[in-house]
């Protein structure tokens, strides 16, 4: 985890703080695990713009990630730690003893040459994937399944981890990165460790062009538009625009968006704001 501060030789590099990629060991991905990604420019199947502010950006290939860790009890050696343009975390290339290769999310501290394995009876060590019922309390985990065999859905961003705080009959109680306390089925798989690239949140773009490289176009403010174009538009001079809302009039700040009748509400013990949900 290392950041790189640029010399201010241009206006764009004056405030730029980038990633030094000290953990990356190769810049050549495994060809057999690449898939093409088609850029849409925000257009749908009819060719009409469905999402604004999308377009351009560098071409990239998708790296097929093994979120399921379905190769049980087969040891694999870490061949390389690589950059993935499709996610904030780094990825690790595994060479299994039977010759197969797969990518996984790289946990923090995983070194080239280390051995990892997935299975029901494996040790809860860095990079290993196992059921949460076989992990000791206090273990930091990521890439957590929500249903057994589904593949990891939770805690996959750079620098994130959840903590196994308790075990109940058929549920494991996790403290999520947001601070939420949540139940997940105890037979679900998770990977031991904290997701790599924890300094990602400290990076600074430095110039607008960095977003253009990512395919993000300039975003117009609603208050700068006319009333016909946006609910916050119009007014005399520089008016505030009223309550922040979307172009369709939906409130942008403060309104609850989670359904009161969502089935998984009963699995949330405490919300991220500290409030306990009524049972």
pLDDT tier, 100 (very low <50, low <70, confident <90, very high otherwise): very high
Under 8 Å between Cβ of 137 and 165: yes
Under 8 Å between Cβ of 78 and 93: yes
Q: Span 38-54, mean pLDDT?
A: 95
- What is the reported pLDDT for 1? 60
- What is the reported pLDDT for 254? 86
Q: Span 135-155, mean pLDDT?
A: 97
Q: Span 52-81, mean pLDDT?
A: 97
- What is the reported pLDDT for 274? 80
- What is the reported pLDDT for 41? 95
- What is the reported pLDDT for 62? 98
Q: What residue ranges do the domains of the chain occupy? A: 3-200+259-270
Indicate whether this model's pTM tops 0.85: yes
Q: Span 69-91, mean pLDDT?
A: 97
pLDDT tier, 20 (very low <50, low <70, confident <90, very high otherwise): very high
What CATH class has 3-200+259-270?
A: mainly beta
Q: Taking 60 as the threshold, does the pLDDT of residue 278 lie above it?
A: no
Q: Span 200-207, mean pLDDT?
A: 95
Q: Is 46 left (phi over 0), alpha (psi -120 to 50) or beta?
A: alpha
- What is the reported pLDDT for 257? 85
Instruction: Kindly report, residue by residue over 225-247, the tens digit of the pLDDT.
Output: 999 999 999 999 999 999 999 99
Sign of CA dihedral 195, 201, 204, 208: positive
Q: Taking 80 as the threshold, does the pLDDT of residue 279 lie above it?
A: no
């Amino acid at each position: 985890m290392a950041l790189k501060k640029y010399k201010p030789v241009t206006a764009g590099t004056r405030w730029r703080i980038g990633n030094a990629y000290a953990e990356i060991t190769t810049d050549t991905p495994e060809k057999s695990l690449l898939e093409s990604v088609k850029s849409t420019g925000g257009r749908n199947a009819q060719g009409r713009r469905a999402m604004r502010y999308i377009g351009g950006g560098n071409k990239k290939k998708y790296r097929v990630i093994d979120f399921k860790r379905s190769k049980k009890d087969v040891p694999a050696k870490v061949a390389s730690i690589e950059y993935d343009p499709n996610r904030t975390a780094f990825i690790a290339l595994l060479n299994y003893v039977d010759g197969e290769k797969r990518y996984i999310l790289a946990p923090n501290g995983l070194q080239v040459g280390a051995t990892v394995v997935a299975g029901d009876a494996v040790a809860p060590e860095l990079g290993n994937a196992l059921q949460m019922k076989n992990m000791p309390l206090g273990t930091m985990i990521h890439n957590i399944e929500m249903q057994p065999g589904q593949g990891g859905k939770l805690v996959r961003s750079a620098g994130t981890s959840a903590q196994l705080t308790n075990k109940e009959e058929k549920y494991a109680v996790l403290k999520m990165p947001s601070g939420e306390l949540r139940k997940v089925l105890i037979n679900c798989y998770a990977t031991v460790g904290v997701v790599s690239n924890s300094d990602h949140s400290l990076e600074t773009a430095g110039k607008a062009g960095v977003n253009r490289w990512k395919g993000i176009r300039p975003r117009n403010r609603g208050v700068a538009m006319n009333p016909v174009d946006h609910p916050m538009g119009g007014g005399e001079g520089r008016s505030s625009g009223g309550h922040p809302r979307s172009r369709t009039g939906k409130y942008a700040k403060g309104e609850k968006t989670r359904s009161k009748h969502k089935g998984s509400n009963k699995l949330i013990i405490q919300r991220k704001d500290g409030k306990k949900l009524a049972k």
